Amino acid sequence: MINTAQEKEEHLFLSGHTACAGCGQSMAARLVIDAAGPNTIVVNNTGCLEVFSTKYPETAWGVPWIHSLFENAGAVSSGVEVALRYLGKKDTINVIAQAGDGGTADIGLQALSGMWERGHDILSICYDNEAYENTGVQRSGLTPFKANTTTTPIGKESFGNPRPKKPMPEIARAHGLPYVATASVAYPLDIQKKVKKALSIKGPKYLQIHVPCPLGWRHESNLTFEIAKLAVETGLYPIIEYENGKLTNVRKIKGDVKVEEYLKLQGRFKHLLTSPEQLKLIQDIADNNILVYGLKLEQVQQEGGK
Of positions 8, 156, 246, 306, contacts other proteins by CB under 8 A: 8
Under rule CB under 8 A, residue 284 binds other proteins: no
Under rule CB under 8 A, residue 113 binds other proteins: yes
Under rule CB under 8 A, residue 24 binds other proteins: yes
Under rule CB under 8 A, residue 66 binds other proteins: yes
Of positions 36, 48, 84, 168, contacts other proteins by CB under 8 A: 84
Specify the DSSP class assigned to residue 244: T
Closer CB to other proteins, residue 59 or residue 151?
A: 59
Under rule CB under 8 A, residue 218 binds other proteins: no
CA-to-CA separations, 24 to 82, 216, 285, in angstroms, rounded: 32, 11, 23
| Residues 25 to 64 in contact with other proteins, rule: CB under 8 A | 26-27, 30-31, 38-41, 43, 50-51, 53-64
At residue 42, the 3 state secondary structure works out as strand
Under rule CB under 8 A, residue 72 binds other proteins: yes
| Residues 171 to 190 in contact with other proteins, rule: CB under 8 A | 188-189
Of positions 1, 7, 156, 246, contacts other proteins by CB under 8 A: 1
| Residues 144 to 163 in contact with other proteins, rule: CB under 8 A | none
Under rule CB under 8 A, residue 221 binds other proteins: yes
Helix (H) or strand (E) holding 203: none
Size of the site for other proteins (CB under 8 A): 81
| Signed CA dihedral, 252, 257, 263, 265: sign only | negative
Q: What values do phi and psi take at 198, rounded to 5? A: -60, -45
Buried b (16+ CB within 10 A) or exposed e, 210-225: bbbbbbbbebeeebbb
CA 112 from centroid of its chain's CA atoms: 15
CA-to-CA separations, 196 to 1, 32, 33, 169, 205, in angstroms, rounded: 18, 9, 10, 18, 11
Closer CB to other proteins, residue 18 or residue 151?
A: 18
Under rule CB under 8 A, residue 135 binds other proteins: no
